[in-house]
Structure 1
Amino acid sequence: NGWALACMAPPVGLRPPDGAMQAFLIQIAARSHPDRRAARGALDPGAGSIGFTRMDAADLAELEQGSGLPWQGGDALRALGKQLRAAEGTIPPVVLPADFVGSLRPYQAQGVAWLQFLRSAGLGGVLADDMGLGKTVQTLAHVAIERAAGRLDRPALIVCPTSLVPNWVREAARFVPTLRLLSLHGPGRKSRFGDIAAHDLVPTTYPLLTRDHAVLTAQAWHLLVLDEAHTIKNPSAETTQQVLRLQAQQRLCLTGTPLQNHLGELWSLFDVLAPGFLGTARSFRSRYRTPIEKHGDAERQAALHRRVRPFLLRRTKEDVLAELPPKTEITEPVEMQASQRAVYEAIRLSMHAKVKQAISEKGLARSGIIILDALLKLRQTCCDPRLLPMALAQKAGSAKLERLLELLGTLMDEGRRVLVFSQFTSMLALIEAELQRRSLAYVLLTGDTKDRAAPVRRFRSGEVPIFLISLKAGGVGLNLTAADTVVHYDPWWNPAVEDQATDRAHRIGQDKRLFVHRLITLQTIEEKMDIMKAHKRALIASILEAERGAALRLTEADVEELFAAM
């Protein structure tokens, strides 16, 4: 009826002087909903007070600009709000420290500047770039700047899926080799708990948060990074609850898919990032999710977008197309789990002994077939132990297959078109079974495919997003420029063969930037192959010639290098 209640002692009823004040009070009330205040524990919702945090600053700046009323007080918060609203394109660039090895693309440098801006304001954020655009390297640059500035007085904790720990270790060694890194992963991690405070970067995994919660929650962290943060989209899960208990000066979420199925997943991300920022799950559902998802409410959708925009940075591959090279190659390191490692080591030791016995009995020159067969078995174990006719191998599991399925899940969420190459048709059959189990559409091309044109036609037309191809059947003669992503499931001795396969997509007519993922199992024959391609060209050439029927020209030292433990 035009009256407002002013919370004074005693309460006084006031009639606002004009409609502008009335509208202003309504908007203030909406921005300080009791559910939000209760969720973040900022104020007693029954006390009649209105309170705001730094995360509300951009909202307040918008309100101040549109109110047409004079404002007083809260100068720092109001200044921050204006800065957040004008942040796009105005954040000053940052200077990378001398111990950062390499350079950043312009959009990556902007991402690091954004992370630094949020840190200076005491805020966290969601870095939601597409996969392959370098969220890891941007985060490492952010950490490197913090250390160079003397602010990294406590470690940075990286929480990621188990399969991504090797990637963080590898990328940190590549870009910031001076970082003191402590991997809290594997059975021996507990012996390293006492060393946490003496390190700069500490990667661990989501499954280990629950097991190691006493140690991790007792440690104060400078930075908490949640990689593949959509992992914690279930707010009631134990892992999510453990994340909320971690204490850090800044929280960052990294994900290429901040929203997969519904808006509730976005709420979960921000509830971990800044509890209460989007209210309780119940109030968020009534205020945003139901109006937007069920009724297509464009006004509520725009309001939600404005609220989260200052704290979410997303660039798709199409957004930064001009900055990307025609082909980006990404090595995906894969670490075996204990059961698969046990099978691999058993086969390595037995094959090593068999090869040495053959050399002793027949000489090195006449042992070529046995050596090649032994190398084949090791490579098959890296792909999936089930490729071997051994009872123990059937139950060991495959870390590489798990990583491929994670990768394909993310790529499908991004709408990518993917070629998956393997030299083993039996491995493609295992991949095929997993895709069927997940209801992912695909086509298959091997040497046994009678109608080669049919799968090519279905992929080119966009009917299916995944094309499984055996390296020998599809390595030449195909034009598949509809693909924007290539995955080499297993490495080949000859890099030229891999390049020929990649060129099915990377050729004249390709109007997209191509991303090539190579899955390499660490501390195995695959990693040795990867190293040898660059430094042991004569040895690689000899193995290639032997596979074509020529004599195997190796020294005994070469054999020892191939079969020795890493």
Structure 2
Amino acid sequence: GENQVDIIITSYALITKDLLHYNDQKFYYLVLDEAHYIKNTKTKLYQAFLTLKAQHKLCLTGTPMENHLGEFWAQFNFLLPGFLGGQRQFTKLFRTPIEKHGELERKQLLNQRIKPFILRRTKDKIATELPPKTEIIQTLRIEGKQAELYESVRLAMDSRLKDIIADKGLKRSQIEVLDALLKLRQVCNHPKLLSLDGAKKVNQSAKLDYLMETLPEQIDEGRKILIFSQFTSMLSLIEDELIDAGIGYVKLTGSTTKRQEVVDKFQRGEVPVFLISLRAGGVGLNLTAA
């Protein structure tokens, strides 16, 4: 029974299923790690946590607010029900004046009210305590058909650019120069990224081959892997390889509608690989699982 143990460790996925077991329990401490999981007041998960009885509550999160102040209110309402008023009252007093009208006084008033209950650690305060980040740059050599394609594209672009620059001058030819560099980068990633009939037939990519050689070993070691690319089409090619290899993954691009679901799936450890486009994943991502 629950009374025979000192500590219960559970997950957000299980709490709604096991809620009946906790109804008669009065906990001394209730600690929520990654507390932003309860930011949506309309979910069964949020309602479940409101029914748990505890003498003390503690929320731990790196992102107490991702989209709007309503998410912050939800977590605070779990900690101290009514302290910031009801949801409508909070929206009227704080959220609308701060978010829509940029009222500094209301922002300061909210900060004063919540200050005694928040212990904040910013990155600059703890950066010296973090282990150093290891960066390994792996240089790969393109070979065979991919190398031949690269050279033919390079020669074609070189000839074209010389003509354009001679005609318009370098300053007025910058778009063409960038386009040429883009095409060469695409060949380096995977020939199939090029919109050329000849390139579509070249199914050889040093980067993709290396990735698929090293991934299984990394996953066996229990590593969580983030794969970034500027090209969503490259992510699609990696996706095909992952499916063939039977490797679980999630993907985040500009067209992903259920962004938080994708993030949560990776955070819960359901899949080892996260494919992310640089544009979609450049901001607002909190991936502590990686």
Quickly name the TM-score band, shorter chain normalised: 0.5 to 0.7
2:212 to 405, 423, 427: 405
1:354 to 146, 160, 166: 160
Alpha-carbon separation, structure 2, partners of 1:370 and 1:421: 26
Alpha-carbon separation, structure 2, partners of 1:325 and 1:406: 28
- Structure-2 residue corresponding to 1:364: 170
SS in 1 for 2:217: helix
Q: Does 1:414 align with 2:242?
A: no
- Structure-2 residue corresponding to 1:426: 233
Q: Does 1:482 align with 2:282?
A: no
Q: Whose helix fraction is larger, Structure 1's or Structure 2's?
A: 2
2:200 to 380, 383, 394: 394
Aligned pairs for 1:492-531 within 5 A: none
Alpha-carbon separation, structure 2, partners of 1:462 and 1:413: 14
Alpha-carbon separation, structure 1, partners of 2:214 and 2:230: 19
SS in 1 for 2:185: helix
Q: CA deviation at 1:335?
A: 1.1
SS in 2 for 1:386: helix
Q: Does 1:345 align with 2:146?
A: no
Q: Which has the higher contact order (CA 8 A, sep 6+)?
A: 1
1:326 to 118, 122, 132: 132
Alpha-carbon separation, structure 2, partners of 1:402 and 1:367: 35
- Structure-1 residue corresponding to 2:269: 462
Alpha-carbon separation, structure 1, partners of 2:276 and 2:226: 7
2:244 to 414, 418, 437: 437
Post-superposition CA distance 1:26-57 (Å, at most 9, x none)? xxxxxxxxxxxxxxxxxxxxxxxxxxxxxxxx
Q: Does 1:335 align with 2:170?
A: no
- Structure-2 residue corresponding to 1:162: none
Post-superposition CA distance 1:181-206 (Å, at most 9, x none)? xxxxxxxxxxxxxxxxxxxxxxxxxx
SS in 2 for 1:421: strand
Q: Does 1:382 align with 2:180?
A: no
Q: Does 1:448 align with 2:255?
A: yes
Q: CA deviation at 1:394?
A: 2.1
Alpha-carbon separation, structure 1, partners of 2:248 and 2:178: 36
Post-superposition CA distance 1:108-164 (Å, at most 9, x none)? xxxxxxxxxxxxxxxxxxxxxxxxxxxxxxxxxxxxxxxxxxxxxxxxxxxxxxxxx
Q: Does 1:373 align with 2:146?
A: no
Alpha-carbon separation, structure 2, partners of 1:350 and 1:425: 26
Q: CA deviation at 1:405?
A: 0.8
Q: CA deviation at 1:409?
A: 1.5
Post-superposition CA distance 1:304-343 (Å, at most 9, x none)? xxxxxxxxxxxxxxxxxxxx94311011111112110000
SS in 1 for 2:199: helix
Identity over aligned pairs, percent? 56
Aligned pairs for 1:263-278 within 5 A: none
SS in 1 for 2:138: strand
SS in 1 for 2:192: helix
Structure 1 counterpart of 2:175, one-letter code: I
Structure 2 counterpart of 1:467, one-letter code: F
- Structure-1 residue corresponding to 2:70: none
Alpha-carbon separation, structure 2, partners of 1:428 and 1:455: 15
Aligned residues: 160
Over the aligned positions, Cα root-mean-square deviation in angstroms equals 1.2
- Structure-1 residue corresponding to 2:40: none
Alpha-carbon separation, structure 2, partners of 1:328 and 1:386: 32
- Structure-2 residue corresponding to 1:487: none
Alpha-carbon separation, structure 2, partners of 1:420 and 1:346: 29
- Structure-2 residue corresponding to 1:267: none
Structure 1 counterpart of 2:132, one-letter code: P
Structure 2 counterpart of 1:415, one-letter code: G
Q: CA deviation at 1:422?
A: 0.3
Stretches of structure 2 that go unaligned for 5 or more consecutive residues are 1-129
Alpha-carbon separation, structure 1, partners of 2:162 and 2:131: 46
TM-score after normalising by structure 2: 0.54
After the TM superposition, list the runs of 4 or more consecutive aligned residues in structure 1 that deviate by more than 2 angstroms.
Answer: none
Alpha-carbon separation, structure 1, partners of 2:139 and 2:216: 18
TM-score after normalising by structure 1: 0.28
Alpha-carbon separation, structure 2, partners of 1:408 and 1:371: 35
Post-superposition CA distance 1:222-258 (Å, at most 9, x none)? xxxxxxxxxxxxxxxxxxxxxxxxxxxxxxxxxxxxx
